[in-house]
Amino acid sequence: MLTFTIRRLILSVPTLLFISLVIFLLLELAPGDPMAQVPLTVPPEVKEKMREALGLGQPMHIRFWKWLVQFFWIEPQVMIDHYFGTTYAVGDLRVISWQTRSPVMDTVVQRIPQTLWVVGTAYIVGILIALPIGIYSAYRQYSVFDQCGTFVTMIGFSIPPFFTGPLLIVVFSVQLGWFPFIYDTTHVVDDWDSFVYQLRQMILPVMVLALQTTAQISRYMRASMLDNMNQDYVRTARAKGLSEAVVVMVHVLRNSMIPVVTVIALGMPAIFGGAIITEQVFSVNGIGSQLITALFANDLPTVQTLTFIFAMLIVFFNLIADILYGLLDPRIRYD
C-alpha cells in the first residue's frame, strides 16, 4: 500500500508541472498588455522601466523558473515563518499582485476559508442526502420513489447554478424573507444568535451547490447498488437467514461504495468550479470571486496563482481518489 501511494504521489509531480506550464504559457501568449492602462504621456523609456519593475524584462523560461521558485520554495517558507516565528523568507521576493501591490498569497489565505466553508458544507450535505436516496431507489427499483428520484436528479443535472441561485433568492429571501441573500463574510460567530445567523446565511449557497452534488452522486449510488443487488453473494447472505437490513446495509452497501467513493473524490473539482458562479451570485468573497476580479483588472500574477491553486486541488483530490480506490479494492493495489 505504501509503495502504491508513493508511486501515485511521484506521478502527480509531472502532472502539476505540466499544468503550471500550460497556465503560464496561456497567460504568456495572451495578447493583453499590462501597460495598456498607463497614460500615453508617459515616455517609452519610463514605460520600459515600469515593465522591468513588474518583472517582465527577462526571457520567458527564466520567468517561469522564477515563478516556480517563488510558488514552491519561497511561499512555503513564508508559511513556516508565520507559524513558527522563524526568518527563512525575509527579504525574498514573493508573488506580488499587480492590483494591490501586496503578496498574492496573503489575499488568498484571507479568502480561502470562506470558499472552503461553503463548498465543504455543501458537499457534505449533498452526500448525506444523496446516499440514502440512491440506496433506497436501487432497493425499490422502478417504484414511485425511484421514478421521482430519477426525475429530481435529472432536474438537478439540468438546471445550472446561475439559475437556481437567483430562483432561490427570489423565493426564500424576497418573497418569504427567511434567509439573507448576501453572504456576510465579516460576520463573527461568538454566541448562539450569531451562530444561527451564520447558519441562515449559509443555507442558500449550500443548497445551490448541494443540488448538483446530490443529483450526480445519487445516480452513481443507485447504479452501483443495482450492479451488486443480483450478485451471488447477496443470495448466499439471504439464504443464510440474515435480515434484509443486514444484507442491504452491510453486504451490498460496502461493495457498492467502492466506485461511489471515487466519484465523491473526483467530483470535488467540479464543485469548486460551481463555487465560482455561486460566489458571484451570493457575493461570497472567496477565491472564486477573487479570480473574477483579478481577471477583469488584468492582474496576471493573481490569476496565475489562483488557477494553479484550483489545479492543485484537482490533482490532490485525484490522488485521494486513487489511494481510496487502492484501499478499498485490493485488485488495483497489486496491479
Partner 1 sequence: MTDLSNQTPLAPPRSQWRNVWDQLKKHKGALLGGGFLVFITLAVLLGPYVWTLDPQKIDYRARDFRPIYHALFDADAKTAWANPLGTDQLGRDGLANILAGGRTSMAVGWAAMLLTLFIGTMIGVVAGFFKKLDGPLMRLTDLFLSLPILPLLLVAVTLFREPLRGNFGPEGGMFILIVAIIGITSWMPTARIVRGDVLALKEREFVLAARSIGTKPGAMIWRHLLPNVISPIMVSATLGLAAAIITESALSFLGVGFPSDFPTWGKMLADAVQRMEEFPERVMLPGIAISLTVLSVNYLGDGLRDALDPRIRGR
Q: Which three cell numbers mark 266? A: 473526483
The least CB distance from residue 179 to partner 1, in Å, is: 15
The least CB distance from residue 280 to partner 1, in Å, is: 6
* Among the residue ranges 121-129, 156-164, 190-198, 245-253, the one whose residues contact partner 1 (CB under 8 A): 156-164
Using the rule CB under 8 A, is 55 a contact of partner 1? no
Sign of the CA dihedral 284, 287, 292, 297?
A: positive
Q: Which three cell numbers mark 185? A: 463574510
- Say how far apart CA 332 and CA 330 lie, in whole Å: 5
Q: How far is residue 99 CA from its own chain's centroid?
A: 25
Q: Which three cell numbers mark 299? A: 492582474
Look up cell 527563512; give the residue.
Answer: 88
* Among the residue ranges 107-115, 186-194, 234-242, 287-295, the one whose residues contact partner 1 (CB under 8 A): 287-295
Instruction: Name the CA radius of gyration of the chain, rounded.
Output: 25
167 versus 189: smaller Cβ distance to partner 1 = 167
The least CB distance from residue 320 to partner 1, in Å, is: 13
Look up cell 480561502; give the residue.
Answer: 112
105 versus 169: smaller Cβ distance to partner 1 = 169
Q: What angle do CA 242, 244, 248 make, to 5 degrees?
A: 105
Size of site (CB under 8 A) for partner 1: 43
With b for 16 or more beta-carbon neighbours within 10 A and e for fewer, the 177-202 pattern comes to: eebbbebebeeeeeeeeeeeeeeebb
Using the rule CB under 8 A, is 315 a contact of partner 1? yes
Using the rule CB under 8 A, is 38 a contact of partner 1? no
- Say how far apart CA 293 and CA 284 lie, in whole Å: 13
Taking CB under 8 A as the criterion, the residue among 54, 124, 154, 196 binding partner 1 is 154
Which amino acid is residue 324, in one-letter code? L
Using the rule CB under 8 A, is 119 a contact of partner 1? no
In contact, 218 and 137? CB cutoff 8 Å: yes
33 versus 244: smaller Cβ distance to partner 1 = 33
The least CB distance from residue 47 to partner 1, in Å, is: 19
Using the rule CB under 8 A, is 160 a contact of partner 1? yes
The least CB distance from residue 324 to partner 1, in Å, is: 17
Taking CB under 8 A as the criterion, the residue among 5, 100, 185, 280 binding partner 1 is 280
32 versus 91: smaller Cβ distance to partner 1 = 32
Using the rule CB under 8 A, is 183 a contact of partner 1? no
Q: Which residues contact 43 (CB under 8 A, 6 or more apart)?
A: none
The least CB distance from residue 183 to partner 1, in Å, is: 16
Taking CB under 8 A as the criterion, the residue among 1, 6, 13, 30 binding partner 1 is 30
Taking CB under 8 A as the criterion, the residue among 159, 203, 234, 320 binding partner 1 is 159
Cα separation values, 27 from 23, 32, 59, 220, 274, Å: 6, 9, 14, 37, 23
In contact, 242 and 159? CB cutoff 8 Å: no
Long-range contacts of 288-292 (CB under 8 A, 24+ apart): 288/115, 290/107, 290/108, 290/111
**DSSP letter (8 states) at residue 172:** I
Taking CB under 8 A as the criterion, the residue among 3, 10, 31, 40 binding partner 1 is 31
Using the rule CB under 8 A, is 277 a contact of partner 1? yes
Residues that bind partner 1 (CB under 8 A): 15, 18-19, 22-23, 26-27, 30-32, 154-155, 157-160, 162-163, 166-167, 169-170, 174, 269, 272-273, 276-277, 280-281, 291-292, 295-296, 303, 306-307, 310-311, 313-315, 318
